[in-house]
Chains A and B, each alone.
Chain A
């Protein structure tokens, strides 16, 4: 099975049965996975920060929830994905509770959901918050999406 790794600020798609798409080591970052059971098309985006306001030019749209999610959804449609038949899940968004200045995880989760709502879409399942590192995995053949905390069994979303 080929594992397609999705690093910080990247997005990847596949409809090949042998593939899995994976975002490893999610801290405050949020990975959003989408899967269309009719076309077997899966996609995953690794969002790092909530808002693109911090950059002067729109140089790195995939880093941010507000600019990355629209691009991701557009690409999903272009590759034949159907929103009516898709499942959307998120994982990550961990936070350091000791200082609100570093509470990027919560902000990422809120921003991702807000960006989805502009397309009238919402998350059907999630594994977010706390202070654990996570891995999100899409098995294209089975259409199963799992989230795993280090050292714990994986959880089907």
Chain B
């Protein structure tokens, strides 16, 4: 929990709308999907009014994950096939790709690393959600994608304070997010949660992003936080987009128990992550041009 008098935290939170705005199209879709009586056409119209977003959603709709036998050619077809929630998550996913494709000097993450790590964690989170027969695997994918979004803000807005974080971390003995907590009074998970809150995302998403390094602190009914926690650990171990923090993280026993994971499951997950990374066409189609 962030102390009520943490000036830096509240200064950053007040700047989120300016630092990381949510495009009007997505905001409109989120508002529309909140009302179960919204007509599908209104959602199609909102998406079609934003050509770039519409084309990204179509790309996702035609990716292997959804497995439609026929090509989804129009937005209205995609909305009918996929439903409100999936369309909302797809729009957010498409937007997140552009937000995450950045160089983060404070974390020693070069251009591409942050994106690869987020994308790998999204794939791994979805694999765990599918393994657990979780009803909304696509939402867990989005959580994995956004888990480190707070880093983008901290890198931008707390550069001075960050030098002290790196200094403390380099002394050894603590994980990088623990150094953030000691110096700043909060970690990147708190800032990521604040972003998701500003974007009006679900309570589960906000809770998971906030607690992805400390799932014990999450709501007891939140299972997705354990999926994202373990997914992040495995992707980090594999070195996918790792930076200043190396692979120094604490693994939650509670998460291992909640997902009933055994040693052989870890190997199988690593194999599946590599398979998906090799085969998923999303990665290449959504990267910003370097």
Contacts and interface: CB of A to CB of B under 8 A. Distances in A.
A133 B274 contact: no
B266 A101 contact: yes
Given A104-B237, A151-B166, A54 B274 contact: no
Contacts of B264: 54
Interface string A1-40: 0000000110000000000000001111100000000000
B205 interface: no
A27 B246 contact: yes
A64 B20 CA distance: 41
Interface in A71-100: 92, 94-96, 98-99
B242 interface: yes
A59 B250 CA distance: 33
B245 to A, nearest CB: 8
How many of chain B's residues touch chain A, expressed as a range? 20 to 34
Contacts of A60: 271, 274
Interface of B: 108, 113, 166, 170, 233-234, 236-244, 246-251, 253, 256, 261-264, 266-268, 270-271, 274, 277
Interface of A: 8-9, 25-29, 48-49, 54-55, 60, 63, 92, 94-96, 98-99, 101-102, 104-105, 130-133, 149-151
24 contacts: A8-B238, A25-B242, A27-B237, A27-B240, A27-B242, A28-B238, A28-B247, A48-B270, A49-B270, A60-B274, A63-B274, A92-B239, A95-B247, A96-B233, A96-B247, A96-B249, A99-B253, A101-B256, A101-B263, A102-B233, A132-B247, A133-B242, A150-B244, A151-B166
